[in-house]
């Protein structure tokens, strides 16, 4: 099994209800490997098993501290998710982008171009956008904090409404130009 050869012997998961939907989160011994909003349980588990070679086990008690942080986050409290990650898939470029995303502070925004510069490929903002869209760890790696250089919202895998809700919750929606969406 590929997962075992990379230092993984177990994958655990849980889910948490939130104001925006159900969030499924999985982890190996090395760190969080996936977080998704409103997936089907079967699809979520299948993707992880295909990538790791290990069947995920439901262990909600292992996620109690993270579940408490999620609850605090959705109450509008400033939360920094300080966790390790275990990227089961992705190119080296994508993994670099995801690592940079994980460091965007609560209440802050960055642009695709700024991330491209940080990975040493200043003209690769489209490739950065693709990597951001492939982020395997929803919310905990805050890809919703990435906007276009003209300060417009940009895309989001879970839709612009969810992106706006998260930015509003964090107090940074006022930093985005919403006129492109028909807002005053």
Q: Annotated catalytic sites, by residue?
A: 143
Q: What distance in Å separates the CA atoms of residue 171 and residue 168, rounded to the nearest whole number?
A: 5
184 band by pLDDT with thresholds 50, 70 and 90: very low
Q: Which residues pair with 36 in a beta bridge?
A: 24
Q: Are 116 and 124 in contact (CB under 8 A)?
A: yes
Q: Which residues pair with 18 in a beta bridge?
A: 21
User: Which tens digit of pLDDT belongs to each residue from 14-61?
Assistant: 999 999 999 999 999 999 999 999 999 999 999 999 999 999 999 999
SS3 sequence, 104-122? Answer: CCCCCCEEHHHHHHHCCCC
Whole-prediction pTM? 0.91
3 band by pLDDT with thresholds 50, 70 and 90: very low
Average pLDDT over the chain, rounded to whole?
Answer: 92
Residue 5: its pLDDT value, please? Answer: 41
């Amino acid at each position: 099994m590929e997962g075992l050869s990379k230092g993984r012997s177990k994958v655990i998961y849980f889910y948490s209800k939130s104001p925006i939907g159900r969030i499924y989160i999985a982890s190996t011994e090395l760190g969080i490997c996936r977080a998704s909003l409103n997936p089907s349980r079967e699809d979520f588990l299948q993707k992880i098993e295909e990538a790791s070679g290990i069947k995920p086990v439901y262990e909600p008690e292992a996620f109690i501290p993270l579940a408490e942080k999620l609850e605090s986050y959705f109450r509008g409290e400033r939360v920094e998710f300080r966790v390790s990650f275990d990227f089961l898939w992705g190119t080296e470029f994508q993994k670099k982008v995801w690592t940079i995303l994980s460091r965007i502070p609560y209440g802050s925004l960055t642009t695709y171009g700024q991330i491209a510069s940080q990975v040493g490929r200043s003209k690769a903002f489209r490739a950065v956008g693709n990597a951001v869209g492939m982020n395997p760890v929803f919310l905990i790696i805050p890809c919703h904090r990435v906007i276009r250089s003209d300060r417009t919202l940009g895309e989001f895998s879970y839709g612009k409404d969810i992106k706006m809700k998260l930015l509003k919750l964090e107090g940074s929606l006022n930093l985005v130009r919403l006129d492109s969406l028909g807002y005053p």
